[in-house]
Amino acid sequence: MPRKVVLYIAMSLDGYIAKEDDNIDFLSKVEEPGEDYGYHAFQHTVDTLIWGRRTYDKVLSFGMSEFPHKDKKCYVLSKSKTGQDENVEFYGGSLTELISSLKQQQGKNIYCDGGGEVVSALLKENLIDQLIISIIPHLLGSGIRLFQDGRPEQNLTLTHSSTFKSGLVQLWYNRAE
């Protein structure tokens, strides 16, 4: 079975993944004990991660005792940083070449978790195979949009939807061929 690039991300009802200052506190509005909205199960379907630099820096700012994706190959897209640190490899080359190379390797799916610039770049090149979007019942009003302007039109097929007691709605789409 070929590897897929899967966007797994949350956004506000009005389409923002963060406030303009990268604040994501609105995500806590749906936190409930014992509910992870399928995240743990999803993590077992992927072995590679692609993040933007700001997303990576945000995760590091949480001060966790251990990097949450130690069991995965992690790429952080960066225009300025190269090489690697203890957690990730920094990548500044062609996204198309990276995805093509990863898809030729054996493995599980490839997980993309933002940010907005990374999602936009992947969509511009038609590189996202599946989108799993959790919609938080909150209107941010402004911020960093998940879907930026300037990408090509793309058809999607809804494959699954779930609603949760918290008001979160999760939508699963595959890229239509």
One digit per residue, the tens of pLDDT, for the chain of length 177 reads 789 999 999 999 999 999 999 899 999 999 999 999 999 999 999 999 999 998 898 888 888 888 889 999 999 999 999 999 999 999 999 999 999 999 999 999 999 988 889 999 999 999 999 999 999 999 999 999 999 998 999 999 999 999 999 999 999 999 997
Torsion angle of alpha carbons 40, 44, 45, 46, nearest 10°? 100
| 113 domain-assigned | no
Q: In 3-state terms, what secondary structure has residue 97?
A: helix
pLDDT in tens, 92-116: 999 999 999 999 999 999 999 888 8
Residue whose C-alpha is closest to residue 156's, from 166, 144, 147: 147
36 and 66 share a domain?
no
Domain boundary among 76, 106, 136: 106
122 and 155 share a domain?
yes
This prediction has a pTM of 0.93
34 and 56 share a domain?
no
Give all strands (DSSP E) within 39-168, no chain letters: 46-52, 73-77, 89-91, 109-112, 130-136, 144-145, 156-163
Residue whose C-alpha is closest to residue 20's, from 120, 114, 144, 148: 144
146 and 60 share a domain?
no
Quote the pLDDT of residue 57: 87
Tell me the two tokens of residue 13. Answer: 């009802």
38 and 122 share a domain?
yes
Contact 70, 43 (CB under 8 A): no
Residue whose C-alpha is closest to residue 48's, from 98, 122, 84, 121: 98
122 and 96 share a domain?
no
pLDDT in tens, 132-159: 999 999 999 999 999 999 899 999 999 9
